[in-house]
Amino acid sequence: MIEVAEDNYPPNHANPLGLPPSSSVQLLLHAVSLQQQRADTYEQPGGERSMEKTVKAFNAITGHDLVESEGWLFMAILKMVRGQSTERPHRDSAEDLVSYSALYAEARLGHR
């Protein structure tokens, strides 16, 4: 059961559970929002779905044989490296990492 945070974070449309902005659950909910925004921006009804095409193009150019999940793994590692490159954490990199982790898991579990 998720406990609602103290009065410091009142529930609202962006934070329906009233959780601190850096809580794991709030970051997961934000990842959902980010993927929906990307779907709207790039007109992809299923959400962020550019990696399969990106990996195919990369493989054609380089002769490598990456699969979709490896593309998401690469992006997650990039975000981790960027996140460690400065003393203060970079929120955008952390939020993208959460989203890329879910996309990696989806592709990996789908054997892609």
Whether 45 is covered by a domain: the verdict is yes
Residues 6+ apart with CB under 8 A from 73: 104
pLDDT in tens, 28-54: 888 888 888 887 887 777 667 789 999
The pLDDT > 70 percentage for the chain reads 79
Entry field: residues in the chain: 112
Whether 41 is covered by a domain: the verdict is yes
* Total domains in the fold of the chain: 1
Lowest-confidence pick of 2-11, 12-21, 24-33, 53-62? 2-11
Which domain covers residue 68, as residue numbers?
24-109
Q: What angle do CA 65, 42, 17 make, to 5 degrees?
A: 105
CA 1 – CA 11 distance, rounded (Å): 16
Whether 50 is covered by a domain: the verdict is yes
Whether 4 is covered by a domain: the verdict is no
